[in-house]
Structures are given as structure tokens and as C-alpha cells.
């Protein structure tokens, strides 16, 4: 289907009613973003700003889209993963909010990239990425768009890694705000969001009992910590694998067993990768796994699992239930791959709960406003979210939870700025 002749490409526009009510439900848990939306409606800080966004098309993203368009932005949205789109939400965004959306759950590789291309036909001034696919496309195939681009934002660790590599190699041609690095983003979204939604995805896909199972978490970054913490809370025997000595040490002191993946492969019952790297679980590991092992990924890309290697070891495949694919190995063992190795929290569940996305997307909205206000002033590097924005989001979130905190008094402020006073 040609991608430049339509205003949208979604599964079924008639799904909008269900999507609209679910968007409203998520909005109930997004008080910070709602406040920003209300201000944006009054002030229109994004008037005439064309934004192309490549995000997971979920109820939470829909509320970000509402905030941006209330601020005056002209938004075009495409999916940041072939399996994460909520088709009813896409329908509501098109029909109820008149936003161009190019996203369909289960879209193939070609359609995925056609949708990214379609979103860039919008000729953005600002790009908004979750995984850096838009920026990569601009820098490789749509360099003509660069002169008009004020900057971009990036939502996730994997995208920030790619963008920093672009900046280091001198190929990044506009400034990026790393939303992921805001404390009100990764401390909550990556940890508590991924923690809950990954367990949710595994359970919705399999309905397995976690209590008493050997549950292997590959990667002890913020996401891995969140999943490990929640799996332990469900009674699993959690094993961590790491390549970073400090993170491994932290996992040990957090009370987890730590071992190489080659050892874990022999005893794990459920495996989740959250490393941001590739081929973390590969042929030699699949060869060691027990019959009935469940393998999934909750990192951004499905390359964390070497799926071609699993295929090469298998003599047959069948779908056991939605998002559970059985691979029958030549020696008769069965390995179950969840959600095609795509991020399981969005493939078989609904992604992070709205309450954490509230802060992530407040950072997105305020970073876009910051980019628009600072047009031409930022270097072509990856920049942090300004610390004032980060703290303001935390204050607003606390206030929405009716949690009050203390203020420093003058004496304390002076003490913290001095060095003379000792024992």
C-alpha cells in the first residue's frame, strides 16, 4: 500500500469507541500530563509545530498526543514496534482526535518501515522517537528534512545508546533530548513500569505460576532490576546474568543469585532478556535448556534472542496459544518463545501502567516545548532533560498523590553551600 496517499493506515477505524474509553481510563491515572495539557490548551506553545512521533501506540501515548495537539502541534504518529500497537487506540486517535496514525498490531517488516516513512512525509520540525528509528531514517534516507528539524526527543535506553553513537561519530545533525535519562523517567518507568508490565505480559501469555520457578533475568539495569524485584515478589527463584561487574555486584547484594548465562541456561524455567544488546541467548544456550523452558524479551529489540538459531535447532513449530510459539527441537525438547521475541510487556500485555507513563510523557511534552523555545540554540548532541523540568514533574506527581515533603530552611541551605563547619 503506498504510504503517502493516505492520512492514516490503521486496522479498523470503527474500533474507535472502545479505544476512546480506554484512553479516558488511562487519563484518570495521568494527572501530571493532564495539567500540562490544560496549560498547553491555554498557551499554545507548540502552535504550528509539526511533530512526527514513532512511539508505542497505546492509551498512554494517546494522552501524550492529546497534550501535544492541544498545545497547537500538528502530530503524525507511527508505531515503534510491529507488535505494540493497540488498534482501538489508533482508531480513536484518527477518528476522535483527527491525528494521522500509521500503525497496526502485527504489521510486517516492510509495513513497519513504510509507516515510518509515512510519518516523515509529514515534514517534521521535531522528531519523537522510542528506539531512534525515525532519526536513523532521517539521517540515512531523508537528509532533505534535516534543515527544517529543530530537534528530537528519545524515550528509551536503546535509542539513547544509538543516538550517542551517532553524536560520537559526528553524524547526528540536530539536537536530541534524552527523555530516558530524566530521573522521573527511568527511575519509575524503567524500573516499576517494566517490572510490573513484563510480569503482566508473561502471565497473560502463559498463565504460568511464578512461585517456585527458576526465573532468569538477563541484564540488571533499571529494567532488569524492576523485573527481578517483581518476580521475587511473586515467589520466583530469581537468577541474574550480567556483563557489568558493578551491576552484578549490586544484584548479589540485593540478594539474587548471579551466574553466567551458560550456567543459568541449564536450570532456568523462564528467561527474560533486558540488556539492550544482541544475541544474549544464543544457540549454545538453547541447546542446554530443559524441556518446557519459556523464553522472552523485554528489551527494545528482539535481537536479544537469537531466534534464527532457535529455528535452526528446531524440526517443527506450532502456536500453543496467543503469543506462545512452541519450538520442537530435534532431540524432542520443547522451547516456548513468547511474543516473537518482541518486548513482551507490550506484545501480550498493555505496556507500562498509565501512572508511570504520566511522568515519562510529561517529560516528552515539556522537552518538546523546550526544544521549540530553544530553536537554534542547542548543539547537535544528546542533551539531558533540564533538571528543573525533572524536579517539577516530581513535585507535580507528589502533589497529585497528596504527598507533602519538607523544604530546606535558610540555615540548612547555607550549611549545604558552606565547608567551614565540621565536627
Residue ranges in contact with ligand ADE by CB under 6 A: 55-56, 58, 60-61, 193, 346, 351-352, 357
Burial of 316 by CB count in 10 Å (0-12 exposed, 13-18 middle, 19+ buried)?
Answer: exposed
56 vs 95 by CB, closer to ligand ADE:
56
Write out the H or E segment, with its range, that includes residue 327. Answer: strand 324-329
Minimum distance of ligand ADE from residue 264's CB (angstroms): 26
Rounded-to-integer distance, Cα 256 and Cα 139, Å:
42
Largest CA distance in the chain: 74
Nine cell digits for residue 11: 486496522
179 vs 261 by CB, closer to ligand ADE:
179
Minimum distance of ligand ADE from residue 80's CB (angstroms): 8
SS3 call for 19: helix
Half-sphere exposure in the Cβ direction for 358 (13 Å, CA): 24
16 vs 157 by CB, closer to ligand ADE:
157
Angle in degrees, 0-180, between the axes of helices 16-27 and 354-373, rounded to the nearest 10: 90
Minimum distance of ligand ADE from residue 196's CB (angstroms): 10
Alpha helices in 303-343 (DSSP H): 307-313
126 vs 357 by CB, closer to ligand ADE:
357
352 vs 383 by CB, closer to ligand ADE:
352
Minimum distance of ligand ADE from residue 49's CB (angstroms): 21
186 vs 269 by CB, closer to ligand ADE:
186
Rounded-to-integer distance, Cα 329 and Cα 385, Å:
48
Minimum distance of ligand ADE from residue 420's CB (angstroms): 48
Minimum distance of ligand ADE from residue 289's CB (angstroms): 28
Q: Which residue is nearest to ligand ADE (CB)?
A: 351
Write out the H or E segment, with its range, that includes residue 129. Answer: strand 126-129
Amino acid at each position: 500500500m503506498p504510504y503517502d496517499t493516505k492520512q492514516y493506515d490503521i486496522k479498523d477505524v470503527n474500533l474507535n469507541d472502545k479505544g476512546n474509553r480506554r484512553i479516558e481510563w488511562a487519563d484518570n491515572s495521568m494527572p501530571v500530563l493532564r495539567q500540562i495539557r490544560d496549560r498547553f490548551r491555554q498557551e499554545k506553545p507548540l502552535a504550528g509545530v509539526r511533530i512526527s512521533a514513532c512511539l508505542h501506540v497505546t492509551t498512554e501515548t494517546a494522552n501524550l498526543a492529546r497534550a501535544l495537539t492541544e498545545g497547537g502541534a500538528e502530530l503524525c504518529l507511527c508505531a515503534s514496534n510491529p507488535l505494540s500497537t493497540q488498534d482501538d487506540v489508533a482508531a480513536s486517535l484518527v477518528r476522535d482526535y483527527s491525528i494521522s496514525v500509521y500503525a497496526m498490531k502485527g504489521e510486517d517488516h516492510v509495513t513497519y518501515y513504510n509507516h515510518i516513512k509515512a510519518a516523515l512525509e509529514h515534514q517534521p520540525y521535531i522528531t519523537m522517537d522510542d528506539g531512534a528509528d525515525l532519526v536513523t531514517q532521517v539521517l540515512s534516507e531523508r537528509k532533505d528534512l534535516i534543515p527544517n528539524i529543530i530537534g528530537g526527543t528519545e524515550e528509551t535506553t536503546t535509542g539513547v545508546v544509538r543516538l550517542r553513537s551517532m553524536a560520537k561519530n559526528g553524524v547526528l545533525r540536530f539536537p536530541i533530548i534524552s527523555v530516558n535519562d530524566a530521573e522521573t523517567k527511568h527511575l519509575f518507568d524503567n524500573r516499576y513500569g517494566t517490572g510490573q508490565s513484563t510480569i503482566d505480559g508473561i502471565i497473560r501469555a502463559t498463565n504460568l505460576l511464578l512461585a517456585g520457578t527458576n526465573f532468569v533475568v538477563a541484564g540488571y539495569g533499571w529494567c532488569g532490576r524492576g523485573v527481578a524485584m517483581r518476580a521475587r515478589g511473586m515467589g520466583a527463584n530469581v537468577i541474574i546474568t550480567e556483563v557489568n561487574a558493578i551491576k552484578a555486584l549490586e544484584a548479589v547484594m540485593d540478594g539474587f543469585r548471579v551466574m553466567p548465562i551458560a550456567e543459568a541456561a541449564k536450570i532456568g524455567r523462564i528467561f527474560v532478556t533486558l540488556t539492550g544488546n544482541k544475541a544474549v541467548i544464543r544457540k549454545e544456550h538453547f541447546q542446554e535448556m530443559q524441556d518446557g523452558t519459556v523464553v522472552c524479551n523485554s528489551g527494545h529489540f528482539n535481537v536479544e534472542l537469537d531466534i534464527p538459531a532457535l529455528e535452526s535447532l528446531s524440526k517443527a513449530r506450532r502456536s500453543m496459544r496467543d503469543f506462545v510459539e512452541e519450538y520442537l527441537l530435534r532431540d524432542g525438547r520443547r522451547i516456548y518463545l513468547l511474543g516473537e521475541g518482541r518486548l513482551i510487556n507490550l506484545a501480550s500485555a498493555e505496556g507500562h501502567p498509565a501512572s508511570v507513563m504520566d511522568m515519562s510523557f510529561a517529560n516528552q511534552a515539556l522537552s518538546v516545548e523546550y526544544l521549540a523555545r530553544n530553536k537554534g540554540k542547542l548543539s547537535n548532541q544528546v542533551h539531558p532533560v533540564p533538571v528543573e523540568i525533572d524536579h517539577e514533574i516530581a513535585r507535580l506527581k507528589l502533589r497529585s498523590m497528596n504527598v507533602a515533603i519538607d523544604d530546606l530552611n535558610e540555615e540548612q541551605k547555607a550549611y549545604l553551600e558552606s565547608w567551614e563547619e565540621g565536627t
